[in-house]
Structure formats: C-alpha cells, structure tokens
Structure 1
Amino acid sequence: MLAQLPPGIRSRQVDNGNGLNVHILEAGFEQPGRECVLLLHGFPELAFSWRKVMLPLAEAGYHVVAPDQRGYGMTEGGDARYDGDISQYHFLNLVRDALGLVHVLGYDQVAAVVGHDIGSPVAGTCALTRPDAFRSVAMMSAPYPGPPSYRVDGQNGTQAIARLHADLAALEPPRLHYQRYFSQPDANTHMLACEQGLHDFLRAYFHMKSADWAGNQPAPLPSASAADLASMPTYYIMEQGKTMAETVAVAMPSAAEVAACGWLTEAELAVYTGIFADTGLQGGLQCYRSLGSAAAQAEMLLFAGRQITVPSCFISGASDWGTWQSPGALELMQRRVCTDLRSVDLIAGAGHWVEQEQPAVVVEALLGFLARQAGASGEKA
C-alpha cells in the first residue's frame, strides 16, 4: 500500500482506547496546532480510499486523519467472525472508536468529521451524539435519516425492514436487497472465492457503481415500495439466487476501459485486493448486519427526535444511486434531521466513489464548507 501513497501521507498504528489498534493514514501531521479533519470510509473501502483528497486538505492547513474502520484493513481488534460480537459494529460503538482516536491524537474536538457510504451515517451519528467533539459533519453518498423514532402504532424499524424484504421476494422475478445479501453468512465467501477472482470482482463492483458505467442514470424514486426499489440497478436490488460477484460480472469493464480508468488504476486496485484477500470482507459486512439489528435500533432510540445542530453538508456523485436508494432520506435530512445544512452538492462526472472519481471537486466543496464556518466565527480557516 505504501508504494501507492502520495509522498506526504504516512501510515501508522494507534491504540484508540476502545479495543482497537487502529491503522491510520495522516497528512499535515508535521505542524502541531492544526485543526483535525477526520475521514471515515465506506464498503468495500479503506483509509486508502481518501488518498486523493488528503494532501489538498492538509495543504489548506488541516491535520487530516483517515482510519481503517473497525473490521477493515490493518486495524486490529474488531471481531470479524460471522458468529462473533455484532454489537461491536453498532453505530454508537463506532462513534466511540472515532472519539477515542481523536482524543489519543491529542484533540478534544475536530473541525469536521467526513463520512462516505456507510461511513456517512457513522459520521452523522458522531455529530448527532457528540456535537461538542465533532464541530461539523460532511456526509457523502448516503443521506443520513437520523435516529429511529418511537411509533405510537407499535411498529418498529426491524418490522418494516422485514416487510420490505418479503415484498421484494414476492416480485416476479424475485429480488433481494443488497443489505440483506450482505447480511447472509455466505456473502464473504461468495466475494472472496468467486469464479472471476477477487481482483476482477472488485474491479467490476467499483466500475458498476461509478460514473463510468452507462447504466447509472439515477433519479428520485416515487416511493419506497418494492416495485419502485426494483427499478434501481441490480447491485442494489439483486436478482434472488445470484451472488454479488455474479451480479456485477456482467458489467466487467474491457481492458481498454480498465486502462483508461485514471481514478482507480490497476496498481491502486491491487491495494484493495491484497488487503481484502488477507483480511476478508466480513469485518466490513458486520455493519450491514448491525443495521437490521433490533438491539442497535433500541440503542439509538435514546436519541429519538434529536437533530444534528452543527453545520452539515451533503456531497454525492450526480451518477450515484446512493443518493436516492432510500426514498425520502435526502429530503428528511434537509427538512428535519439537520438544522444547519449548508449545502447539497451532486458532482458531475462521479458515481458512488465520489472522493476517488472527482477528488478535486470534493476538496473544493469541503474547503468551501470549512471556510464558511471559519468566516462565520471569525476564525482563520
């Protein structure tokens, strides 16, 4: 991995005080006294996924820190067994991971926590629960709908999820939500030991969810019904009976397309392949199992009705279905969850991997977001 890191980014291990020996990448660490920006990746990603934005953020005056999150990469200590302790992956414990890391690095607070993909709701939960420590939040590619609410009709989130999965299975042909697939015991093996090999699986997966794949023409869905959700690409609403590796194989880019992919070269993809071949993907999949957990939902009910009051923004690729995969979530963020949502940027020429596909535009959006806060408070950006 180090050979693929730009000069100026260092790699090291840090004990976060919450049971992890965290692998982090850092930029801007040479000068003490800088404000910190914390970057939280998604699936199937790593701290390495932020390599293209770290140096520009550091050049703007920040200490930029990107950890391999619990269960990922070279971070040690997370229970990555399918039958292991899934409570470690509840969002509140992931907030403890982030907060512990921040304090170990010598900070009481960070200028911003930035989360992509499933790192987005983790970042949102950081800002929701500890606004004193996470002074602003940028959520990327996955709108954060806030904590669950108490229902006077006795229904809960897990019951609604179960009904949706039953409705998807009743379609013709039967369909399966990708989060349900990722929660199955064989998903890790399906991807690691797939027919095309792990490297080609990851290439096809990254390609199919990027702006490079012509099939990505996202738009808001009319409703959250099974029929409307099934209009999304099959990497979200899969054909029942197919693995994810089989699903994305049909979109495997040609040799010419691979050679032209400047945002993810073969050498860069080899970093993901090598690390996931060594560690497996189950640690990353644990978060998806936690999403549907009644215990995780019950924990978050403590914050029912609570809003994100610190400055916030949302960034996504214009070709990213992730913005719309949960109908109404973006509008809920704008209307109720975030009381100080400064901007919503849908970046042209980017799909789901926005910080890799269009890093310069993402950096511009993040620095503008941070500068507006500094200007409002009279501080130096």
Structure 2
Amino acid sequence: MTETLKDLPLPDGIRSRLIDNGNGLSMHVLEAGFETPGRPCIVLLHGFPELAFSWRKVMPALANGGYHVVAPDQRGYGRTTGATAMFDTDLDDFNFPNLVRDVLGLISALGYHSVAAVIGHDFGSPVAAWCALIRPDVFRSVVMLSAPFAGPPTFPFGTASEHALHEAGDTALNEMATVLAALDALDPPRKHYQWYYSGADANEDMWHAPQGMAAFLRAYFHVKSADWPENHPHPLAALSAEELATLPTYYVMEKDKSMHETVAPHMPSEEQIASCAWMPERDLDVYAGEYSRTGFQGGLNWYRCATSDAHTAALKTWSGSTIDVPACFIAGSSDWGMYQRPGQYEAMRMRACSNFRAVHMIEGAGHWVQQEQPVTVANRILRFLRQDAFGF
C-alpha cells in the first residue's frame, strides 16, 4: 500500500519530485529554476535534523540568479526511499564515498556532467567537501555552511626512516577517545553528542520524546539559533575535556540525559514562538510530520560512521588530498558549530582547501543560518559564484 504524503508548503517556483539516482535510491528532490533549459546547476545538501525543505528560502533567490537549484532529501532522510534506515544496517551505505555517489547519480540523472557548485550545511557540509575533493571535475566549486572541513584522515609520514623527524598521521579519533574518557570523569560527568547520536538509544529517545515531536524539535531548533541568548561562540583553546565542557549542553551533554531532556528546559515561550519568523508553526509542522513518520535513525547512521574507526580508516584512501576547486565558508555569528572541534576551522582554511576564497559570518544567525538569514546567505553564495569562484 502506497503511503499518501501531504504536499509540502513550498514557495512559488519550487517543485517536488522523485528521481532514481542509480545508486539504490528514489530521491525526493526540490527544484527551482527548472523552467529554463541550459542553466548551470547548484546542488544543496542539508544536515541533521533537517531536510531538503531547509533550503526553501534560499532556492528562489539562487534560481533568480540564473541557476537550476536542486535540493535532495539525502540518504536516510525524509521522502527519499531505498536506504535501510535501521540501527543494524550496513553502515558502508552511509559513509562519505557512498554519499558522494548518491549526489553523482542524482546530477547524472538530471542530465549534467558537472555542476557550478555543491553547497552543504551541517552534516551536508562534509558531504559537499568530499564531493569536491573526490570529483573536482564534476563539482566545480564548494560552499560549506556551519561545519568546517579539516581534510581527509592521513597516514603517518616518514615513519620508515630511523633518523627522520616523523610527521604524525591523523589521530583525531584516538585523541577523541582520550577526551571522551576525560569527559566521563568530570564532575558531573559529560558525554559528546556525536557519540550519543551513535548509540542504540538516541533514535528512540528523540522519536518518542515525551514532550512530543513538535515540542522537541521546537526546543532543539531554538537552542541552537541566534534566538537563544546564551549562544556566544568563541574558539576553544585545546581539544580537552575541560575546554569541551564549556560548550553548550546540546554539544557536550550531561551523561545521564537524553537529547530531549537536554533541550526541554530551553523551550521558547508562546510569545517567542509566535515571533519566530524564520520557523513559523507551519514550517515546524513539516519537520515534525516527517520525523514522526521516519524517525531519526537514517541520519544517525551518518554519525555512527563518523565515530567509527573502521569507517574513518576507509577515508585514508584520500590521505594528503586537498580540495582544489574554489571554496567558501559561511556560518552564523551565533553558531558554536565552527568551534566545536578545536583546530578544524583553521585546518580548513590553511591546509584542507588549496583554493580557499572567502569566509562570511552572518549576523543574526545561529546554526540554522540558511533558514534564519536566507536573504543574506543567498546573496553571499551568489557573490561567491559570480566574483570569487568564476570571476564574472
């Protein structure tokens, strides 16, 4: 029996359809600027817990700028089908190389050999980065929002020489294992949200949050936005338990609390909800309806790959590779995301991207930058494409 889904409340000029991406998925895609053949294409990749719908406000402006704009529900999300979004599924399907294949298959189905830009927000940001790193011939520029990309994990260099100074390889997960143990030893004990998301209980905790899906998501979106007055991000001095413990609890949680318990005390008032222009109730209902139907496990499987030694080791195939196409980074000035892992932002600018062009910090935005300040974000993307990336 085919499930009947409600039409999405989309702005004029955006259509919704399903496309076989040739990589096992029937991808639900939003499109703008599709009426005019021959336009250059832009692909927009959402993060967690979002959907293609998160790009609804910037798509018309990008289309008016002369682009065919495509935003899919990514593997395990929303109305895209074909992925086994269960805890005991094959995680290889959710690792970055296969997520890149998902995007390659989509743009091929659309009839493009290359796209002008791949743009990703939150967990979509590293997917966009890997697209540009693995297939620069297809993805001609990249824009990363909120989550910096520090480059692929690397092998140790020079270890075979007895007298040479050795260059250490990637030890990020090893360092994090030490930090996680130290977080657990704090008083009170703490835990990192990405490892919580990788556990067996996270999906059930959020899917069946006692306050209800809409209230849970309202609090979650609020606490990571510029509307929450406690968001005053700054760089951390070191990757240590003491420094990470200064992050908001939606990143470094209290050990005995779930995510729905973590965000519940920060539920906005009725007056704040009524005045929240960037996430009105009608739009929140879309997220609540979709995640009530699907749960969160599809997106959580991405975190399980990111915290897995085996799946991170598989990325060493690209050890030493850089993003060589024009690159840009955009974040909200009230977003902790760019600082949550010390050194990643600097590594993105100085090492991971050989052709880094611009950073834009957007006032009045937190983590959900393209939803909180869509006009400014669209303008910055168009400026990058017209001036920084391609010089016209």
Give the TM-score category using the shorter length: over 0.9
1:315 aligns with 2:320: no
Match of residue 363, structure 2, among 344, 348, 351: 348
For residues 375 and 314 of structure 1, the distance between their equivalents in structure 2, rounded to whole angstroms, comes to 16
Cα RMSD after superposing both structures = 1.2
1:208 aligns with 2:223: yes
Question: Which residue does 2:243 correspond to in 1?
Answer: 228
- Helix, strand or coil: the match of 1:250? helix
Question: Which residue does 2:57 correspond to in 1?
Answer: 52
Distance verdict in 2 for CA 1:375–1:186, change over 3 Å: closer
Q: Tell me the alpha carbon deviations over residues 284-315 of structure 1, each in whole angstroms, 9 at most, x when there is no partner.
A: 10000000122221221011111100000000
Match of residue 194, structure 1, among 200, 209, 212: 209
Q: Tell me the alpha carbon deviations over residues 57-83 of structure 1, each in whole angstroms, 9 at most, x when there is no partner.
A: 001100000000000000001121101
Deviates more, 1:293-302 or 1:61-70: 293-302
For residues 2 and 123 of structure 1, the distance between their equivalents in structure 2, rounded to whole angstroms, comes to 28
- Helix, strand or coil: the match of 1:127? helix
Q: Are the aligned partners of 2:327 and 2:389 in contact in 1 as well (CA < 8 Å)?
A: no
1:146 aligns with 2:151: yes
Amino acid at match of 2:107: V
Amino acid at match of 1:166: A
- Helix, strand or coil: the match of 2:136? coil
For residues 155 and 31 of structure 1, the distance between their equivalents in structure 2, rounded to whole angstroms, comes to 46
For residues 273 and 26 of structure 1, the distance between their equivalents in structure 2, rounded to whole angstroms, comes to 22
For residues 335 and 292 of structure 1, the distance between their equivalents in structure 2, rounded to whole angstroms, comes to 24
* Pairwise CA distance, 1:2: 3.3
Question: Which residue does 1:171 correspond to in 2?
Answer: 186
| Mapping of residues 70-219 of structure 1, within 5 Å | 70-151=75-156, 152=159, 156-219=171-234
Gaps in structure 2 of 5+ consecutive residues: 1-5, 160-167
Q: Are the aligned partners of 2:190 and 2:254 in contact in 1 as well (CA < 8 Å)?
A: yes
Q: Are the aligned partners of 1:71 and 1:283 in contact in 2 as well (CA < 8 Å)?
A: yes
For residues 128 and 3 of structure 1, the distance between their equivalents in structure 2, rounded to whole angstroms, comes to 33
Amino acid at match of 2:228: W
Count the aligned residue pairs.
377
* Pairwise CA distance, 1:170: 0.9
- Helix, strand or coil: the match of 2:12? coil
Q: Tell me the alpha carbon deviations over residues 3-31 of structure 1, each in whole angstroms, 9 at most, x when there is no partner.
A: 41011100000000000000000000011
* Pairwise CA distance, 1:225: 0.6
For residues 354 and 145 of structure 1, the distance between their equivalents in structure 2, rounded to whole angstroms, comes to 20
Gaps in structure 1 of 5+ consecutive residues: none
Question: Which residue does 1:246 correspond to in 2?
Answer: 261
Amino acid at match of 2:18: Q
Amino acid at match of 1:357: E
Q: Are the aligned partners of 2:141 and 2:389 in contact in 1 as well (CA < 8 Å)?
A: no
| Mapping of residues 3-18 of structure 1, within 5 Å | 3-18=8-23
Amino acid at match of 1:322: G
Q: Tell me the alpha carbon deviations over residues 243-286 of structure 1, each in whole angstroms, 9 at most, x when there is no partner.
A: 00000001100000000000000110000000110011100100
Question: Which residue does 2:303 correspond to in 1?
Answer: 288
For residues 390 and 264 of structure 2, the distance between their equivalents in structure 1, rounded to whole angstroms, comes to 48
Amino acid at match of 2:121: H
Q: Are the aligned partners of 2:328 and 2:357 in contact in 1 as well (CA < 8 Å)?
A: yes
For residues 374 and 208 of structure 2, the distance between their equivalents in structure 1, rounded to whole angstroms, comes to 32
For residues 100 and 170 of structure 2, the distance between their equivalents in structure 1, rounded to whole angstroms, comes to 27
For residues 346 and 154 of structure 1, the distance between their equivalents in structure 2, rounded to whole angstroms, comes to 31
Amino acid at match of 1:310: V
* Pairwise CA distance, 1:164: 1.9
TM-score by length of 2: 0.94
Question: Which residue does 1:277 correspond to in 2?
Answer: 292
Q: Tell me the alpha carbon deviations over residues 35-76 of structure 1, each in whole angstroms, 9 at most, x when there is no partner.
A: 000000000000000000000000110000000000000000
Distance verdict in 2 for CA 1:155–1:372, change over 3 Å: closer
Identity rate of aligned residues, in percent? 56
1:368 aligns with 2:383: yes
Q: Are the aligned partners of 1:161 and 1:292 in contact in 2 as well (CA < 8 Å)?
A: no
Deviates more, 1:325-334 or 1:39-48: 325-334
TM-score by length of 1: 0.97
For residues 311 and 154 of structure 1, the distance between their equivalents in structure 2, rounded to whole angstroms, comes to 26
